[in-house]
Every structure is written in structure tokens, then in C-alpha cells.
Chains A and B, each alone.
Chain A
Amino acid sequence: MKMSVGNMYNYFSSKEELAKFAIKYSTNILAEELREVNNMDITSKKKIYLFVKKYLENVQKSPEIIEYFLRVYLSNREVFKQGCEGFLCVGEFVTEVMILLDDGAQKKEFREQEFFPAFGMIMGCLGGFAFLSGENVLDKDLLSYSDAVAENIYRALKYDESV
């Protein structure tokens, strides 16, 4: 976005408002991309791979979103009470993750477990990796880690015949 910092504040009343908008904007884009993945007629395993790739692509494209999320949202959570209601902000994105999990479990590609551990597992992996990226500690290009991260997530979720 080629705008001066000062100009941005003509549209948003505060840093917090900007952050709110930024998060909602970026997760909506991500949600749309994920919806495309969910609607594909491919295995849930492949969906995870694509899902991770798209997520990391977004992180790479708009790293400042992560900045605002980590530095502004997490440290000013109560600011977001009005009009964001926590989860509501990222509602569409969360819905797509739920669809992914529900679909995989129904197809018996993923094993049956409670929702939150499964959800936390995915978001923890992805969020954690985005954090590492933001900290500039990764030694290779972000997207080259995509398959490895996806493999970890898939193995954690997959159906276990032996149980």
C-alpha cells in the first residue's frame, strides 16, 4: 500500500482501528482462498498442503498484518472488545478451518477428536511459524518450509487404523 502513515490516519481514528480493519481484511482474503481449497474435490491431506501454502503466501505478501496482530491486538485485546468480539474478527477464516476438519473427519482421513485440540494444533503451527518469520530467524525462504509444516499438521490429525 503506497500511502503515508499520516494519510492512513485520515481513514482510521486510531492505531487500534487500523489494526482491527487490517486483521479483518487479511483474514477475509485468506478465508476466501481457503474456501476455494475446501471446495476442491481432492483429499483432505492435499487440502492441508494447499491450505498451508496459501497461508504462508499471505504471510509473505503482507508481513505487516502479522506485526499488527502480534504487537497491537495481543497487547491491546480489550480495545477490540467493541466491534470485534474476539473470534468474530476472524470468523470466516475459523469457519473454513472447521469445514476442513469436519470434512476430513467425515471422510475418515482425520481421526475423531475434540474440536479445540485439532483447531489449536493447526493454528498453533501456522501462527507460530508466522511469528518465526516475523522475527526473521528463518534461514530459508518462507515458502520452502510449506510442505514440512503441512506434513507435521497432517500426521498429527490423520486417522489411525491401529487404534
Chain B
Amino acid sequence: MMNQSKPTIVWFQAITCNGNTHSLLSSNSNRFELFLNSFNLIYHPSLTINNSLEYILENQKEIDFLLVEGSISSNEFIFSISNDSSKNLLEKLALRSKYIIAVGSCASFGGIHAKFTQNDDICGIKEALENNNLQTLIHPIINLSGCPVHPEWIFQTLFSLKTFGKIDLDEVGRPKELYSTLAHHGCTRNEYFEWKVEGNFGQKEGCLFYNQGCRGPMTHSSCNKILWNEISSKTRVGMPCIGCTETDFPRNNMLETKKNMGIPQEVPLGISKRAYLSISGVAKTFKIDRLHKKLME
């Protein structure tokens, strides 16, 4: 039975840059404190000092929430933690955990580190645990993809699980309530997207979809709904979305839009190319003066 007052959390760092940890530390301080007071974070390799990983493995018989940051490999020579491979450690921890949450794209799908193909078995935690019989697990593995993850996605997932016991996941294991909207929803440049006003780097105006490779309309995330660092987002300031919550991250040529004969290769999610081109054609014939001027002269 889960301790209703303070569920235990073990945060395991595998093959990672630690970006998700620093994203966590950049959260709203009240929310961070509430999180620390509502859960018992018994081990985090960057934060806690009382227990080593070895100690946890030997003494912690049950883990309520296992949070994993980083991708997994069985190759101990290339990557070893606490004298063992990340895969072995993951298995040992998983086999005593009730909930397992992949924090970030590397743990979810392999991410950036899976591109190190000279090590042929780097993958996300779901794949790494495929052949394990996870008897203590009471919920499917949850993928909080993102490079890095947004701290609120961690808090809201944990608090939801604490309250309701389960959370609805999409077909790649991400909580629907966080990943059913697109990064595109809520971007302050939406009007430029509507009227097909192309953007450029270094400007407040214009849409970054046409030339700068913005994946906003094809990427599931809450980035323009739950703002980054509480105040901003990449697309708002002029950096294109690079689709880091999706399974195909990282892609190639992330700062440019792939086009065939001037036509974007990919169009917004679920919209047929015909529909997109029809709408674009119509929008493009109307040149809205206001939208071609600077916002502030």
C-alpha cells in the first residue's frame, strides 16, 4: 500500500546531461517546496546527501515513484554508474517500484544519446525494460518527454498520480493532459501563421514555420500553455520549436524547414496537404498590411 502521506521518490540518473534536473531546479520555488514537502525524495545524485545509490539498492525495499533521467545501455565499459551498467541498475530499481516515470526525451525514447550509434544499445526505459516482468508496477510506464522536461509536467503528473492513482496516457506513453495540445497552441505568433506571414530570425514578427523549421504545429507539448521558467517559450522569443517531445527527436536540419519545390514537406498534424495548400493559397492572396509592418515602429 502506498504511504498516503509522503510517497517515496528515487531519482535515477542514467545516460544524461542532467538538464532535466536543472529544469526541476528552475521551477517556481513555491511549487518546488510543495513538491519536496509532499513527497519523500530519498535519493537524487545531485541533491540528496544522506544515501548513496548503493545504499538505496541494498536497503530500500519499496519505491513508490522511480523517476529516471537519461537513456539506458547495457554496456558497462562505455557507461558505468556505481560500478554497474545503467540497464542493470534500472532493472533492480524497477523491480521494486510502483510507478516508473521517464523524465525527459532520453529516458522516454532514447533522445540525443541514442544518436551515439557506436554503442548499439542505447534506448529509452520502456524498451530497456521490455523483457522484464515488472511485478511491483501498478501502472504503465509514463513518458514525460521533452529536452529537457518542464518541471511543471513532473509536478502535475506526480500530484495527479498521488490523488487519482492513475493518469491517461497517449499511444507513446505521455500523459494526455499534458501532451494532447500542440506547441503551436498559444504561440504569440499565431496570427502570422494564420495569414502565412513568413518570419526571420531576430524579429518579433512573422511565423517561423515556413523557413526556420518550427515544428510547433506538429509537436505535442504544453510549451505555449504552461510557459517556460513561468514567463516565456522558445517560439515566443523567436527560436523555432525543434520537436523535442516527439519520438523522432533529434531530427536533421532542425533550424530550417524542409521544402520540396518551395512547399513544406510536412504540414500541421492531421491536416492533409491539399487542405493546407488550399488555405495557404487563400491566405497568401490577401496581403494584410498590419501584419507586414513592425509591431512597434
Contacts and interface: CB of A to CB of B under 8 A. Distances in A.
A and B touch in the complex (CB under 8 A): yes
B119 interface: no
Interface stretch (B122-130, B185-193, B274-282): B274-282
Interface string A133-158: 00000000000000000000000000
Contacts, number: 51
A91 B282 contact: yes
A66 B265 CA distance: 34
SS of A interface (majority): helix
A40 to B, nearest CB: 14
A110 B261 contact: yes
Contacts of A113: 261
Contacts of B277: 95, 98-99, 102
B262 interface: yes
A106 interface: yes
A106 B265 contact: yes
Nearest to A89: B285
A101 B282 contact: no
B282 A106 contact: no
Interface in A66-118: 85-88, 91-92, 94-96, 98-99, 101-102, 105-106, 110, 112-116, 118
SS of B interface (majority): helix
B135 interface: no
Interface residues of A, number: 23
A67 to B, nearest CB: 25
B289 to A, nearest CB: 15
A115 B281 contact: no
Contacts of B22: none
A106 B259 CA distance: 9
A155 B278 CA distance: 27
B292 to A, nearest CB: 17
4 pairs of A and B residues whose beta carbons are closest in the complex:
A115-B262, A105-B260, A102-B263, A101-B261
Interface of A: 35, 85-88, 91-92, 94-96, 98-99, 101-102, 105-106, 110, 112-116, 118
Interface of B: 260-263, 265, 273-274, 277-278, 281-282, 284-286
Given A35-B274, A110-B261, 16 more contacts: A86-B285, A88-B281, A88-B285, A91-B278, A91-B281, A91-B282, A95-B274, A98-B281, A99-B274, A101-B261, A102-B260, A106-B260, A106-B265, A113-B261, A114-B262, A115-B262
20 contacts: A35-B274, A85-B285, A85-B286, A91-B281, A92-B278, A95-B281, A96-B274, A98-B263, A101-B260, A101-B263, A102-B260, A102-B273, A105-B260, A106-B260, A110-B261, A112-B260, A114-B261, A114-B262, A115-B262, A118-B261
